[in-house]
Amino acid sequence: MSEKPAKTAAEAAALKAKWSAMYDKCVEAKPMGAYFSLEELMEFGVAMSDTELLAICEELVSCNLFAVAMAKGSLRYLTRGKELAIKITGLQTDTRVVYSHIEASGTNGMWKRSLCQKTNMHDNRVVKAIRELMAKKLIREIKSAKAQNRRIYILSHLDPSEENTGGNFFSDGAMDTGLIEALGEFILRHIETHSWAEQKVPAGHKARGVKRKRNADDVPASADIEDLPMFKVPLGPNKHPLVPFPPSHRDYPTVSTIMDLIDESGVLKDVTLQEHDVKQLLGKLEYEELVEQVPNLDGQPPGYRSTRRVWDRHPGTVDWNRPLDPADDGVGPGDGFTQVPCGRCPVFKACRPGGVVSPETCEYFEPWLKF
Amino acid sequence: MKKRLSELLTFAVGDFYGEFHSRVFGALVENGRLPFRTLVAKSGLLPTQVRGALITLIQQSFVSFQTTDEGATNYDANWEKTYNFVIRSGKLLQLVKVRYGDAAGVVCEDLFEAGHARVGELIKERVSVKEKPASTKGGAVNGDGVNGVNGINGVHVNGVTEPEGHGPSPEQRRRALNKLVRAGLIVPLNERDMKSVEDLKRSAERNLIGTKYDHLPKTKKEKTNFALDTQQLLDGWRHESLRYFGDGEYSSIKRGNPFDEDSDDEYPAKRRKVHGRTNGVNAATGPHPETDLVVRLNFEKFDVLLRNQQLVKMAARYVGETTSKVYDALLRALETKTSRCYEPSLDHEAEDKEQPFVKTHDIVPYLDPNLDLNVGLYGEDVASEMNGHNDDDEEPVSRKRKQPSSDAQYKVEQHLRLLAYDPRQFVQSEGRDWRVPYRALTKRLLQSQIENHLTARYGTVAPRLIRVLFANGRLEDKNISKLALVPLKELREMLYVLQKAGFVESQEVPRDASRTVNRLVYLYFYDQIKARRVLLDDVYQAMARMLQRAETEKAKIQVVIDKSERTDVVGNEAKYLSKAEKVALERWNQTEEKLLRQVNRMDDLVAVVRDFYPMGPDDSNEELYG
């Protein structure tokens, strides 16, 4: 009888030596909180067989030095610090279960509702556990860009994943429009200065040009309406018209040059932009039709150039009470329909001849038709 | 969907021809195809009144009729033709005047007023008899197809009131007519042109079932083949009437053509070259065109001209003014090879692969000689000698060889290269040959018109979302937010506005079998065709409102207008009209001009959105944003 406990004691001592050796190796191999698969643990050479390995892991889990997690479809273990393990040992069972689930979710964090579902516990018990964990500063609540109203919990020492923050353009789960606009403006200004060439006025051109040649792009004051350019001609810094670079031009800004520019200029303080961030911003500018991609014929990534700016970028609200300017067409966005009161009429759908809202009595027409 | 259009057209017809016509036309658009008796009942007019109105409407092709084998005749309104006559005629006349001179404008105007007319009528009208040239009837005879309509042809509904002797001489008219025929804007009338599109299709189908098919198509494959064959037959018929003046390519004028080479052609040297004519008969002495031939305006071709105008405008917006003028020359050089905006039987890619080429030296004659080609080019581009998209041709040897002979050609190519390398790809090149991918480009034009419209109407966020959806297909709002970088709240508000207006649609997709509301995914998408329909509907309504308002404004000072039109007042306005009356008249003129100018501009929008690109199901939603 007395032999058996002694034997187990010896075994336990051996096991203890093994699992502490295992734990040390793990801590050595990867930083705290890293995942280990069974194969990786086996390679440490501490355990001789699968059953032994499982026994060791079981022991580590029961000491709270290991946590069980599912990752990439298989069982993984992750390491915990010794102090943390002691803290966890002091927790109640409910709380410990909740903690381990939050821990297993990693940087993604876990929603309260999913916690209830996974732990199969009542809402109240989960709330109580969360409160305890929050009080002990083991977990914290974050706002996610994915779902702003959800309460998501994450281990307090972890930074939320990009999926939760939404990337660099989010702060506190909300889109940082200030940053986006400012940075977009910065990029756009850079692209604009590298997109269009200022026309060189050829020698002798001026003397000839004034006398008999009529240019489409610089208009004499007395020109007929039909000779006026259809669109406002964008001018460069020297007040000469901007013209496209020849097709052989290769120096349009690309994603990488723009990234370098941002890094060098130091416009961003605590944010480091990744390439996909810059791409996202350029995408936004492209969707705004402020920039466009120019294919590179050498097989390099495409460059960006600004779309020819023929009207103000922020047209603002158009006052349709103002008399129509015949030269208006083409100077700003809009068409024959948006230039008339009907194009912005709030009761357009209700309008019919003889109705309450009718073309005969329309009050928007009055000021519009006045000269 | 056609409610607004029918309102607009009925009103405009009334504006042009009076109430009887308006009521008959209105009854037809409201009720669809009607026999005479029902038409009388629906219009609430006397049979004689209806008959009188119908004569005009049929002459103008606003109404078509078909007589069944049993002898019953039905009447049907023709949307497209009516629209072109009552809304677009002013714009088209202006276009003709600018391009082909005032005499051509007058000929076109007469043809507009008459609907269709015999060549003899067109040439001699408004001219005193002695100036009329002796007509030789010996020319090629081609009575086929016009017999059915000759009866109506002589009717003059809009009595010519202008004094005789004014306007262009018959010789000028004849020349103008020749120009227009060569441009493909005037074509011989065929019996089939009097039928509505649907009837024509039906008769093509009936024709096929008698010959190639012995039963109605049943399986899906049979149906597709049948539809294809029908379209081919229709195209064949269409070609038949266009080919009247030549046996080959559209509008290329060959032997046996009654409309002879003109001496005051725009680019005589070039023309002769293009058509390979050396033995052209002198216009003054040669045979005159057959005066009995009935001709009509070819709106399909007018659409091509209008589309080219819009494409030039797009080039001016995105590339530059001078370059756009070079582009204009290119498009005009291609005009003779393009008979309509798109071929219904071909899909997007197939059609653009078959677009005709034009050589640089054929473009140069179309350029405005005053145009300074240096403007809009950035210095000398050494490397630009390379050849279109063929990177193989970049070796210096071939570069040297390709040095263009003239400076103008060289400059033109520089401009065209700018267009070819623009992200919108206005033109494609193969060496010295240039072609325009019309179909893809038109789609682009269409889309940018819609985006432009949305910008002006809803601000800059709306087109941004539309572009995201157009480029990416169906998306959840979160994903749109990420791509457009618009905060979700703002995004949802705008999506709601757009959805309500009909530009964006949403779709519920259940995430699991339970189909509960909170397990649904809402996908938003943008359907270009739907958006076009929505936009058109609004524009039609606004156009109608402009015309209705013009009438209201006119009614306010009708007394003064009547007075000013009295025979004793005309010419003596200073004597009989008071100052207040003159001011009122002046005001009315300005008001009318303003309202009509807007209608005209809205028609520009209608043309882009409706006429240049097939309205049917889209072939491919290709990437617009690289």
B566-593 pLDDT, tens per residue?
A: 888 777 777 788 888 888 888 888 888 8
B514-535 pLDDT, tens per residue?
A: 878 888 889 999 999 999 999 9
Q: Which residue has the higher pLDDT, B306 or B457?
A: B306
Mean pLDDT of B494-519: 88
CATH code at B3-85: 1.10.10.10
Which own/partner contact pairs does A47-52 have at CB distance under 8 Å and 24+ positions apart? A47/A18, A47/A22, A52/A18
CA pair distance B463, B471, nearest whole angstrom: 12
Residues in A 7-36 with any Cβ partner in B closer than 8 A: none
CB contact under 8 Å between B324 and A230, yes or no, is yes
pLDDT at B379: 67
Residue of chain A whose alpha carbon sits nearest to that of B322:
A216
Q: Structural domains in chain A?
A: 11-166 (1.10.10.10), 175-306 (no CATH), 315-371 (no CATH)
**Is A204 near chain B, with CB under 8 Å?**
no
pLDDT at A115: 83
Check whether A153 has a pLDDT greater than 90: no
Q: Give the type of residue at A4.
A: K
pLDDT-above-90 percentage for chain A? 3
Check whether A213 has a pLDDT greater than 70: no
Q: How confident is the model at residue A312 (pLDDT cuts 50, 70, 90)?
A: low
- Complex-level ipTM: 0.76
Shared fold status for B3-85 and B441-526:
yes
Q: Which residues of A touch B539 (CB under 8 A)?
A: 336-337
User: Which of B321, B368, B451, B479 would best serve as a mutation to test chain A binding (most A beta carbons within 10 A)?
Assistant: B321
Question: Which of A79-88, B173-182, B475-484 has the lowest average pLDDT?
Answer: A79-88
Q: How confident is the model at residue A241 (pLDDT cuts 50, 70, 90)?
A: confident
Check whether A86 has a pLDDT greater than 90: no
CB contact under 8 Å between B452 and A334, yes or no, is yes
pLDDT at A321: 39
A167-212 pLDDT, tens per residue?
A: 777 777 678 888 888 888 899 889 988 888 887 665 434 433 333 3
Could you give the C-alpha distances from B230 to B66, B225, B234, in angstroms and in order?
20, 8, 6
Q: How confident is the model at residue B276 (pLDDT cuts 50, 70, 90)?
A: very low
Q: Which residues of A touch B590 (CB under 8 A)?
A: 371
CB contact under 8 Å between B541 and A348, yes or no, is yes
Instruction: Output the average pLDDT for chain B.
Output: 77
Distance of residue A341 Cα from the nearest chain B Cα, in angstroms: 9
Check whether B141 has a pLDDT greater than 60: no
- Nearest alpha carbon to residue B553 among A139, A58, A320, A365: A365
User: Which of B4, B322, B372 would best serve as a mutation to test chain A binding (most A beta carbons within 10 A)?
Assistant: B372
Check whether B415 has a pLDDT greater than 60: yes
Q: Which residues pair with A332 in a beta bridge?
A: A329
CA pair distance B284, B262, nearest whole angstrom: 9
CB contact under 8 Å between B598 and A340, yes or no, is yes
CB contact under 8 Å between B370 and A213, yes or no, is yes
pLDDT at A159: 77
Q: Which residue has the higher pLDDT, A251 or A165?
A: A251
Question: Which of A48-57, B329-338, B459-468, B545-554 has the lowest average pLDDT?
Answer: A48-57
**Fold category of B441-526 in CATH:** Arc Repressor Mutant, subunit A (1.10.10)
Q: Which residues of B touch A369 (CB under 8 A)?
A: 549, 553, 591, 594-595
Distance of residue A254 Cα from the nearest chain B Cα, in angstroms: 15
CB contact under 8 Å between B316 and A343, yes or no, is no
Q: Which residue has the higher pLDDT, B299 or B157?
A: B299
Distance of residue A329 Cα from the nearest chain B Cα, in angstroms: 9
Q: Which residue has the higher pLDDT, B279 or B328?
A: B328
CA pair distance A144, A162, nearest whole angstrom: 10
Structure tokens, B404: 């263009």
Phi, psi of B473 (to 5 degrees): 80, -140
Which of B383, B471, B626 lies closest to A302 in CB terms? B626
Mean pLDDT of B276-301: 59
pLDDT-above-70 percentage for chain B? 79
CB contact under 8 Å between B456 and A343, yes or no, is yes
- For tokens 């093509």, the residue is B204
Check whether B284 has a pLDDT greater than 70: no
Q: Which residues of B touch A314 (CB under 8 A)?
A: 460
- Residue B382 DSSP symbol: S
Strand, helix or coil at B65? strand
Which of A146, A283, A335 lies closest to B601 in CB terms? A335
A72-83 pLDDT, tens per residue?
A: 777 788 788 877
Q: How confident is the model at residue B262 (pLDDT cuts 50, 70, 90)?
A: very low
Rg (CA), chain B: 27
B99-128 pLDDT, tens per residue?
A: 898 889 988 988 888 888 888 888 875 544
Q: Which residues of A touch B595 (CB under 8 A)?
A: 369
Q: Which residues of B touch A166 (CB under 8 A)?
A: 482
pLDDT at B364: 87
CA dihedral of residues A161, A165, A166, A167 (deg, nearest 10): -80
Structure tokens, A351: 């309008």
Q: Which residues of A touch B456 (CB under 8 A)?
A: 315, 318, 332-335, 338, 343
Handedness of CA B241, B245, B249, B250 (dihedral sign): negative
- Each domain of chain B, given as residue ranges in start order, spans 3-85, 87-135+163-297, 301-436, 441-526, 531-611
* B63 burial type by CB count under 10 A (0-12 exposed, 13-18 middle, 19+ buried): buried
8 Å CB contact between B444 and B345: no
pLDDT at A311: 65
Mean pLDDT of B299-324: 91
First-to-last CA distance in chain B? 34
Q: Which residues of A touch B587 (CB under 8 A)?
A: 371
**Is A370 near chain B, with CB under 8 Å?**
no
Structure tokens, A160: 């939320």
Q: How confident is the model at residue A314 (pLDDT cuts 50, 70, 90)?
A: very low
Q: Which residue has the higher pLDDT, B186 or A148?
A: B186
Q: Which residues of A touch B429 (CB under 8 A)?
A: none
Residues in A 233-292 with any Cβ partner in B closer than 8 A: 233, 241, 243-248, 280-281, 283-284, 286-289, 292
B66-102 pLDDT, tens per residue?
A: 887 788 888 988 888 889 888 998 899 999 998 898 8
Q: How confident is the model at residue A263 (pLDDT cuts 50, 70, 90)?
A: confident
pLDDT at B622: 36
**Is A337 near chain B, with CB under 8 Å?**
yes
**Is A297 near chain B, with CB under 8 Å?**
yes
Check whether A268 has a pLDDT greater than 50: yes
Check whether B277 has a pLDDT greater than 60: no
Distance of residue A150 Cα from the nearest chain B Cα, in angstroms: 14
